[in-house]
């Protein structure tokens, strides 16, 4: 596994649903601290959990599809600076 990038290991090892909370502990602390909206955090968390359990590598287009399913894309904190 040394030749595999750390962000791709889940594609080679099975991740069980009961392990997700442990694996993602504190994963969202920085996004929370910068003020990302709860709806966006929830969508990102669900997307990440799905990738981990399915053994699918991150793909930007997949993430954009996930975010496009939100009823309304939340305003990001840095977009309102200076408004």
Query: Burial code of 1-35, b = ≥16 C-beta within 10 A, e = fewer?
Result: eeeeeeeeebbeeebeeeebeeeeeeeeeeeeeee
Pairwise CA distance, residues 63 & 76, whole Å: 16
pLDDT digit string, tens, across residues 33-61:
988 888 889 999 999 999 999 999 988 88
CA angle (29, 47, 9) in 5-degree steps: 85
Q: Is 60 exceeded by the pLDDT of residue 83?
A: no
Q: Is 70 exceeded by the pLDDT of residue 78?
A: no
pTM here is 0.79
pLDDT digit string, tens, across residues 61-77:
898 888 888 887 776 66
Give 7's DSSP letter: G
| Two tokens, residue 14 | 């099975």
């Amino acid at each position: 596994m040394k030749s595999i990038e750390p962000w791709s290991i889940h594609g080679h090892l099975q991740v069980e649903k009961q392990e997700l909370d442990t694996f993602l502990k504190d994963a969202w602390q920085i996004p929370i601290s910068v003020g990302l909206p709860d709806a966006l955090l929830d969508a990102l968390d669900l997307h990440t959990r799905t990738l981990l359990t399915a053994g699918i590598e991150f793909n930007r287009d997949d993430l954009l599809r996930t975010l496009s399913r939100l009823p309304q894309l939340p305003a990001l904190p840095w977009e309102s600076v200076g408004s």
